[in-house]
Structure 1
């Protein structure tokens, strides 16, 4: 009908010269303290109304944040939500830093700033808006329920939609690194001991060859023990 419609935040309304009544922000402000975000709607330069959108906290999110804090990891929340809503959700979760009203490029910029400050950054995301930050982080981790763009951009993709999978992934990676170090140690021990003994004829070449074969078997067997590793279980909510 040749009508101009504007949909967005309060900043967009001001940009288009649309007047928002004084009482409206106060009413909306009360809703934002419950974790809701506001989308204003205007038609032909006149305010038509507002849409209240509220995110729900994942059931396993508080337990995930607590577990990561136990590991000594600081948590930052990067969101496009409005400031008041972000502060409410961040307060519920107990995150350390809150960055709100971010565009996709802003999220990537924040990740770069954290890296420049000397932090190793693990970015967890599931949406298209998270893709630039996932690519910028030292390690990008996409949740299984995420968009194809996020899953393709991330370095690691969780098969489960549970956010607590981040804790399990970190636990498994730590144990895997430990196995790699153990395997390198025992391989070096075999070589340091058996090669000189074989070179000076103290041990027969056949015995030295058998020892090298045992070295390979021990490395593989030690690695297979990872299959018996018990990973953290999501605490009951």
Structure 2
């Protein structure tokens, strides 16, 4: 199989995919503040139903707030999930949370392999693959984070990112649903997203990996994403992974409305 597909072909392959917006709260909110935020997000449900084009939304609060997420988001179309998981289903793993436990809580998505966990907790490609295997076996959707540390040399950046993606996908159960969150490390927490041309070329390469594995995948971009990002990346990626901008629910709403409007424009 040819290792290269055109950006136009990659964009055509996204035409029928519903955009996906994800939000990870990391460790910014306490429990009471998280509950308030979840209640405000739940209030978006009726607005999402009125959008000119459908947009899927999921949020990932801290573990202790997942019960609140089930209570507040369970009756809505907004999905929720966890920021991490352990690879074992059970055993002597003090302080860890398993994929089956997350499934019992009604979680759908699980963030895996974020650059911060790789840097601060020593997570390797092997650990990420084991977590992907556990999550897909439990019927959940892994949000596999991947991205290069430096972006100046594009071929090197692509190979660094693809090494992470290939290893993670090798752990996925056949025909499972996965999300690849492309997050260049140098753009996380930056003042502006990675250049659109850089993301488009990376997205084209990542889609080759997805095509080579027996999975159903979506590709989203994270790294200083916000208003205006989708207009630059629409067609190259299937959604956005938002950070602190989405802590302000009106800011989250603005991004979602922008995506729906642009999708409607593209359809007419």
TM-score (norm 2): 0.26
TM-score (norm 1): 0.28
Structure number with higher relative contact order (C-alpha < 8 Å, ≥ 6 residues apart): 2
Q: Which has a greater percent of helix? A: 1
